[in-house]
Amino acid sequence: MPTLSRLIAKCDWDSVYQKLLSGTEETSIPIATPAKDKVYILHQALCSKVNPVPDKVLLVLIKQFPDALDLNAFIEACENPRLPRASMEILFDLASTETLHAVEYMARVLASKSVRKKNVCVVQLFIERFPAILEGGSVLEYAITNGTAEIVDKILEVGVHEKIGRAGGLYNKVNGSEDSLDVAIKLYDENDDERRHILATCLQYANASKMGLELPDPNYPVILAAVGLVPKRILESFLAAYSHEITRTKQAGKYAILKTIQLSEEDKKDDELPSIFNDSILINACSNGQLEQVKDLLVKMSHKSSEDYARKYFKTLLHTASKKNALEVATDLFDENDNNRCEILKICVQYANAAKMGKDVPPSNYPTILAAVGLVPDQVLLGLGRKYQSEIRDMDRTGKFALKKVLKMKEERVKYANRLDSKCQYPLHIDTRRIKFNRTLATIPGAGEPRRKRFNIRLTPIPQGLRKIVQDVRNSGRQFSQSQGQS
């Protein structure tokens, strides 16, 4: 009759079970191997990868010779990529106190073995029983490097529940250098689906932490989670891989997602408004509450040629430099209960935001509160949100996610930028391929940072053919100043 060892090698578990019930002594006899440690039938059964040992067979094996359930048995179990969680739980339940102490001492190593074998169930069991092994970040880093996205997700989930650190331990530094998120970004390969899924999982937890959520929402768009946390090249890759997240959302949601991307790419030094907002006629119209004139001026000026725009800029510069610009005037006079004042500020922020987007006129159906982010104080922003809440009500869930992220990024703009630039590893703003906006708006203040009272007045980029006009105006200004000095 075949020995137990041969039957186990063939995965003939029915025959193994029957032979065990007959009272064989083979379970206590070491198997002849070159290894120094004693190897028993139980160890061999736990090694079976093609067809894992059934629980009923495992129970009888341990019952007949409990001494075989030692640390080596746990090592063999962790090396088996197909061993079910229930089988590992049996080992924990029936092991001696001494063996359990040894397993706990080696828990980090044993969990890493299961990570390498990509056994999600066993990894999850170990981190649930011994959450302390997640401290320091080595297990998570090992999972990001050698595991799967599912394993990384389980580790981060337990890390959040056990309060291992921010975002489940993603920001815990390993060996005092990189944190786990850095590792996931560094190892990203757009041609490797698993690497992409691992990074996406990490970004979901990192973003959830920033948004004040305990765990990621299962329906949260990956693109939205990635904004502000990865360099531009990876964000572009994600836009291609997860484009369906954008195509399925409504237009207002698409605008909100675009705004988050624009906020993440803006140069922190950008602090300008288009020159039309320094026009004395527009300022007076805003001051006097002349809504129709404000609309007419903004519409007409948005269609002016670059040459007219340049001449208009220099003619009004000396007369308006000491005054508040039109947007500031409209903001100061905003009254949530005055429809006329609300509409004046609405059209001003819409055109200012359109200029930021490099457009002459505001896109249709662009939410007012989205356009106003970074242009008005928080109190006014909330007032606009209440006044035009119907524009938000039509947003789908993805759009509302994006709007919330825009508001959060507005509060923590500096923190988001510093996350990318602190190590000079993943800077966004030095990429020469960046799309440059034709006009720029005011910098969004960081949390706790005082808001600037005035916008710097600068000329937006002028086409090559207009440089002579600009130089002539400048020379005229110098001559005028010199003549005034002489007199």
Q: Give whole-number Cα distances, 441 to 193, 307, 350, in Å.
A: 38, 21, 12
Enclosing H/E stretch for 265: helix 251-265
Query: In the prediction, which pLDDT does 484 show?
Result: 43
DSSP 9-45: HTT-HHHHHHHHHTT-SGGGSPB--S-SS-B-HHHHH
For residue range 9-38, what is the model confidence (pLDDT) as tens digits?
999 999 999 999 988 888 999 887 776 678
Tens digits of per-residue pLDDT, 193-232? 999 999 999 999 999 998 888 899 998 999 999 998 999 8
Residue 436: per-residue pLDDT: 37
Amino acid 482: pLDDT: 52
Q: How far is CA 376 from CA 175, 391, 417, 440, 456, in A?
A: 44, 18, 21, 15, 16
Q: Are 345 and 384 in contact (CB under 8 A)?
A: yes
Per-residue pLDDT at 98: 96
Residue 330: CB partners within 8 Å, gap ≥ 6?
A: 286, 294, 341, 344, 345, 348
Q: Calculate the dihedral angle through the C-alpha atoms of 402, 405, 407, 412, rounding to the nearest 10 degrees.
A: -160
Query: Is the distance from CB of 71 to CB of 102 less than 8 angstroms?
Result: yes
The total number of residues shown for the chain amounts to: 487
pTM value? 0.74
Beta-carbon contacts of 356 under 8 Å, excluding residues fewer than 6 positions away, are 262, 437, 439, 440, 441
pLDDT digits (tens, 9 = 90+) for 281-335: 888 899 999 999 898 888 887 665 434 444 444 344 334 444 688 999 999 999 9
Please answer whether residues 348 and 327 qualify as being in contact, where contact means their C-beta atoms are separated by less than 8 angstroms: yes
Per-residue pLDDT of 395-405, as tens digits, reads: 888 888 888 88
Distance between CA 151 and CA 270 in Å, rounded?
Answer: 42
Whether 74 and 109 have beta carbons less than 8 Å apart is answered as no
Is the pLDDT reported for residue 465 higher than 60?
no
User: Percent of the chain scored above 70 by pLDDT?
Assistant: 78
pLDDT confidence band for 266 (50 / 70 / 90)? low
pLDDT at 262: 80
